[in-house]
Amino acid sequence: MARAGILGAPRILGNAHKKEADGGWAIADTSRRLIANNNMTVSLDVVLVLIAAFGAGLIDAMVGGGGLIQVPALFGVYPGAAPPVLLGTSKFAGFFGTSSAVMRFAGKVAIPWRSLLPLGIAVLITGGLGALAATRVPPEVFRPLVPVLLVAVLIYLLRRKELGGKHAPRDFGGRHHVLGTLLIAAIGFYDGFFGPGTGSFLMLVFVRIYGFDFLHAAASARVLNVATNGAALLYFGLNGYVMWQVGLGMAICNIAGAMLGARLALRGGSVFVRKVFIVVVILMILRTAWVAVD
């Protein structure tokens, strides 16, 4: 049994999704054809989710954290859908939005492409593993940890007011690089598994470990975000965990938001990005704490 939802895709209720004995989510034939033979409909759901996708793209391009806008919007519109389907659809939109932000940054900010390549490969692998885990373990297990990590990030930033103010990049080598690689690989797994706040965590690694200012950290973090989103999207897409028509509408809005966000970051510079980063971290703490308690 289904009823119309966003962009004509039906909401799947009842037993359309069932949890398998091994902990994975199985999608029934009906949900594999969520958007087949359905006309696009204009509803409040459409407006809310597309606005959320635009806002997510804007915030994500500057400082990360867009997933905390986009993912809850999808869960709200599709309460009966399996979590991997919603995460896969969000990854689809986020992949294109983040890619457009990278293109915008690349023309204005020096991005260490060669140094980021091995890190990109690492997060491709760990992001794919995270997506695989998301189909077998409820992503909610990470929810109580996110606000705790974000509080630690906020305290650290407020105590180190000079952090990220000046661009003094360190080599991608040595002990600090080993630590940075491990942290980035772990963040890649988290992004594939759950995701919200990934861009912010990546930025902090580039600022703290590699000596980037916030503007250059934003650009490099978006590059790795493309890799993590791409890895997760590949797994979700190949296994039918994406509502393609829904994701297409969200992707267009995500791109528009990301282009504006990157433009604002470039215009405001590192000082502006740091201020936005702190504000977004505070909002993410409030949001994730509320969800964890609720």
Which residue matches tokens 């309460």? 79
Helices (DSSP H) in 23-137: which residue ranges? 29-32, 44-63, 67-77, 83-106, 113-134
Tell me, what's the pLDDT at 294?
A: 65
3-class DSSP state of 94: helix
Tell me, what's the pLDDT at 218?
A: 92
Domain assignments of the chain as residue spans, ordered by start: 2-293
Residue 4's beta-bridge partner residues?
A: 10
Tell me, what's the pLDDT at 57?
A: 93
CA distances from 291 to 29, 158, 254 (A): 31, 24, 24
The pTM (predicted TM-score) of the whole model is 0.76
**Is residue 23 within 8 Å of 136, Cβ to Cβ?**
yes
C-alpha–C-alpha distance, residues 171 and 294, integer Å: 44
Per DSSP, the residues of 172-201 read: S-SHHHHHHHHHHHHHHHHHHHT-TTHHHH
Degrees to nearest 5, angle at CA 283 with 282 and 285: 65
3-class DSSP state of 25: strand
Classify each residue of 232-249 as buried b or exposed e, where b means 16 or more C-beta atoms within 10 Å of its C-beta. bbbbbbebbbbbbbbbeb
C-alpha–C-alpha distance, residues 255 and 153, integer Å: 28
pLDDT in tens, the chain (294 residues): 333 333 333 333 333 334 443 444 444 343 444 444 344 445 777 788 899 999 999 998 998 888 878 888 888 887 888 888 988 899 899 999 999 999 999 989 999 999 999 999 999 999 889 888 888 877 666 667 777 878 888 888 888 877 777 888 999 999 999 999 999 999 999 888 877 778 888 999 999 999 999 999 999 999 999 998 888 888 889 999 999 988 999 999 999 999 999 999 999 988 888 888 888 888 878 877 776 666
Which residue matches tokens 């992503």? 139
C-alpha–C-alpha distance, residues 64 and 200, integer Å: 5
Tell me, what's the pLDDT at 267?
A: 92
Burial class (CB in 10 A: 0-12, 13-18, 19+), 206: buried
